[in-house]
Amino acid sequence: MLHIIVGDEAAKNLKAAFELDENLQGEILVLKDTLGIGDLLSTPEISHDSIRTSWWKTIVPHFDEEVSDESRLLAFIDNAIEQEEPVCFWLSPCVSDVCAYYWLLSYFKPHSGLLHTINIIGLPFLNEKGQLFYPINFSQVPPKEFIKTKRLLKEVTIAEYEVEIDEWKRLQEDNTWVRLYEGGKKIVSKPMTYFDTFIKNSVSDEMQKASKIVHESMKKITQTLSPAYIEYRLKQLLQQDVFQFNGLVEGPLKEIEVKNKGNDETSNDIVES
């Protein structure tokens, strides 16, 4: 069997499980991108990888990588067909996994019977201390617990393709930058400003490093999210003069200090570039 899983940490646990059960062993395609945020609206002329790369470069100016999930997926599917091996997508209750699941469907639909899932949504597991918990992604699942999930392997049926394949199209047409997980396989779209409230609630009346504000905001956000997006939104708020700050907006966060505006607010002490 071949495997698709989201994120390096989850893949590390899956690989460790291979050492415990050789029947699980197989090639792994690790999806690197986080589809819970960012532009999704690809076209026949512009590939998914190109759209995602362009978006990441928008929010992270020094981003020097190329998103390659789509190109690697196409090669992976060709390999699975050639080897006549089923593919298992590991699905956990988080926005990244569920969005990836919907994204995968259109690629696998022409190949009936190829795609399977191991879906742990709503299921309890034991942590390293033997305590019961409900993981929100596979990076939290100990390798020995992966073995127990084999019985959950299920082929994606024709009926599921028909019902669920349009979910990705809906998310694309919503044309937003933020998506939230709301249980089961439900994903809802939100405006790009959705997480601004978490940022605002992390800014105090005293000057503090912008990097600390990002850290505090991330602690309040329960879903899978790249801190790069919170950094981007904080800098957008600074440019909109929402907060008082010292430093260059274009500079590193560790060199920017931010606080709430007081009643006796003064103009921001901006260092000109």
Please state the domain extents for the chain: 2-174, 196-259
* pTM beyond 0.85, yes or no: yes
Calpha distance 15→208 (Å, rounded): 41
pLDDT at 268: 54
Give the burial class of 165: count Cβ atoms within 10 A of its Cβ; 0-12 exposed, 13-18 middle, 19 or more buried. Answer: middle
pLDDT, the chain, mean: 93
CA-based nearest residue to 121, from 90, 146, 150: 90
Per residue in 139-188, pLDDT (tens digit) is: 999 999 998 898 999 999 999 999 999 999 999 999 999 999 999 999 99
